[in-house]
Amino acid sequence: MTARPGPAPDVVIVGGGVIGCATAYFLAAEHGLRCVVVERDGIASQASGGAAGELGATGELGAGGGGRSGEAYTRFIMRGIALHAELGPALREESGVDYLLGDIPLLRPAFDEREADELREQVRWQRGLGIETEWLDAEAVRGLGTWLAPEVVGASYTVETQLEAYPFALAVAQAAERHGVEIRSGEVTGILQEGDRAVGVRIGGEELAAGAVLIATGPWAVHAGAWMGVEVPVSPLRGQIVHLAPPEGTPMSSYGIFHETGYVLPKAGGDLLAGTTRELAGFDRQPTSQAQNDIMEAVVRLAPALIDAPIRDLTACLRPSTPDGLPLIGAVAGWRNLYLSTGHLFKGVTLALVSGRSLAQLMAGGTPDVALDDYSPARFAGAR
C-alpha cells in the first residue's frame, strides 16, 4: 500500500456529485481548507446531472406533511433556493458557466374537488411560511392560455426558480477548483482510521491521508456502511424523464405543470421535460419503455396538446432515498472527523448550496447558519 506524496488535504470528499462539490466549494472558499474530491465515474455523472432542475419549495410535505418537521424542511428548502439567488452571480463568474438560472411560473392543477380542497389548504399553509402562492379558479386558469386540460377545476400558482442541472453541477465543480479544490478520478475502497478517527481513504492500492472524510456518494453511500461499521439507511429510487419537443407549430409554453401524477417542465435551454417515476429498481439506472409509456399517459392527461409531441430522449437516474424522506447531513455516530451527506432525494440540486455551506461550517468547527439537527445521521445510528 503506497501513500500519495505531498501535503495531506484537510478534507477528502468521496463523490463528485453536486453535494460533494458544493461542500468542497464552501470548505475552500469560505474556510480556506485544502480539499480533494474523489469521483469514480465523472463529475455529476449520476443524479446531479440528470435532475430536472426545478427549485421549488411548494408541493413538498404540505399542510398535512408532518407538522414541525414538515415546516422545518420546507424552510430548509426555501433557504436553499434563496442561496441560489444570492450566490448565483459569483458561481457563474468564478466558473464561467451559465447554467440558466431563472424564474418560471408553475401551476399545480386540481382535477376534482377533493384535489382542489387539498391544494387550497396547501396554499394557506405555504402563505403562512412566506411563500408567494395563490389559488386560481377554472376560469382564471383558462385565461392563462396554458396547455392544461380543460377539465381542470382550479390550480395553485407560484413563480419558482429553475436551472440546467448538469451545467450547474459543472459550475460548482469549476468554481471549487478556482479556490484550490483538487478533483481526481478514482474509486474509494475504504476509510483509513486511527482509533475512532477518520484519517483518510483508500483509493485502489493507494492511501490518501486527510484531516477529515466526507462520504457524499448518493445512494451508493449505503455501501460505505461496511467501511464505517454502521448502517447507512439510504437506497436508490429510480426516476425517469422523457425529453420532448413541442408539437410542430406549437410554441413552447411559459408555464410548468406539476401534479401528483407527473409534470411538464419547459426549460430555458429549449428542452421540454416530462416526468417522473419513483421505482425501487436497485442500482439499475437503465431507462425503460414502460416508464416512457406511463409518463406520456400522465402528460397527455395534464396537457392534451402534447399527445403528438416528438420524443427526443429518455433518461434515468438514481436518487438517494431515506426512510423518513429527509437527508442525512452531519457527523457519523461513533467517529471523529467522519461525515455523511446524502439522501436528498428529489432536492439534491435545490439543497446543494445550503447543505454544502451548512456542513462546511460544521466541519470547520463552527455553528451552521442553518441547523442540521433534523438531518443528523445519528437519528438512524446503530451498529451492524
What pLDDT is attached to residue 180? 97
What pLDDT is attached to residue 70? 84
With contact defined as beta carbons under 8 Å apart, do 154 and 138 qualify? Answer: yes
Residue by residue, pLDDT tens for the chain (384 residues) are 344 555 889 999 999 999 999 999 999 999 999 999 999 998 888 888 889 999 988 754 433 344 445 889 999 999 999 999 999 999 999 999 999 999 999 999 999 999 999 999 999 999 999 999 999 999 999 999 888 999 999 999 999 999 999 999 999 999 999 999 999 999 999 999 999 999 999 998 899 999 999 999 999 999 999 999 999 999 999 999 999 999 888 888 899 999 988 999 999 988 999 999 999 999 999 999 999 999 999 999 999 999 999 999 999 999 999 999 999 999 999 999 999 999 999 999 999 999 999 999 999 999 999 999 999 999 987 533
Listed residue (104, 103, 269, 93) closest to 171, CA to CA: 93
Classify strands 188-194 and 197-203 as parallel, antiparallel or unpaired: antiparallel
Listed residue (163, 310, 164, 312) closest to 250, CA to CA: 310
Side chain identity, residue 59: G
What pLDDT is attached to residue 49? 86
What pLDDT is attached to residue 64? 35
Classify strands 35-39 and 182-185 as parallel, antiparallel or unpaired: parallel
With contact defined as beta carbons under 8 Å apart, do 52 and 276 qualify? Answer: yes
Residue-range domain boundaries for the chain = 2-49+167-234+324-380, 102-162+235-321
- The cell numbers describing 36, all together, are 480533494
> Is the previous residue joined to 146 through a cis bond, with omega within 30 degrees of 0?
no
With contact defined as beta carbons under 8 Å apart, do 264 and 299 qualify? Answer: yes
Classify strands 2-3 and 102-110 as parallel, antiparallel or unpaired: unpaired
Classify strands 212-215 and 328-331 as parallel, antiparallel or unpaired: unpaired
With contact defined as beta carbons under 8 Å apart, do 17 and 30 qualify? Answer: no
CA–CA separation, 384 and 374 (whole Å)? 23
Q: Topology of 102-162+235-321 in CATH?
A: D-Amino Acid Oxidase; Chain A, domain 2 (3.30.9)
What pLDDT is attached to residue 31? 98
The strand order across the sheet containing 206-209 reads 2-3, 206-209, 197-203, 188-194
- The cell numbers describing 25, all together, are 466549494
Listed residue (139, 140, 123, 120) closest to 131, CA to CA: 123
Superfamily of domain 2-49+167-234+324-380: FAD/NAD(P)-binding domain (3.50.50.60)
The strand order across the sheet containing 11-14 reads 182-185, 35-39, 11-14, 212-215, 338-342, 328-331
What pLDDT is attached to residue 62? 39
Identical fold, 2-49+167-234+324-380 and 102-162+235-321? no
